[in-house]
Amino acid sequence: MSVVCCAIELFTFEPRINMTFSQCYREPDFSLVRENSFVLARYEKDNLWRRGTVLTKNKHDTWMVKLESVGGGIIEVNLKDILPMDSAEGKF
């Protein structure tokens, strides 16, 4: 697992909103992707990443994910369109 830490300073035209954002990046652990795990999945219709729960893995290495938004729809996605979350709390 590789970890990269960075700090980003954000500026706007409104001086009260300027802030510094600091966070570490970890490589996703794809071994966490399994039935009933929490993930972010890319919704193909609008290309946005949405929180969901993995239902099953299909024969062709695609995954069925039930989204929490978009009416709770079920989508089929490739592993490249999934980011695993570490726990039920939805932390990365």
Residue ranges covered by each domain of the chain? 31-84
Query: In sequence order, what are the beta bridge partners of 49?
Result: 42
Task: Answer positive or negative: Cα dihedral of 53, 57, 58, 62.
Answer: positive
Q: What is the mean pLDDT of the chain?
A: 78
31: number of CA atoms within 13 Å, CB side? 1
Q: Tokens 């500026």 label which residue? A: 11
31-84 topology per CATH: SH3 type barrels. (2.30.30)
Give residue 91's pLDDT.
Answer: 52
Asked if residue 69 has pLDDT above 50, the reply is: yes
Query: What's at 53, amino acid-wise?
Result: T
Q: Tokens 């300073």 label which residue? A: 9
Question: What gap in Å lies between CA 50 and CA 36, rounded to an integer?
Answer: 16
Asked if residue 92 has pLDDT above 50, the reply is: no
28 vs 7, residue with greater confidence: 28
23 vs 29, residue with greater confidence: 29
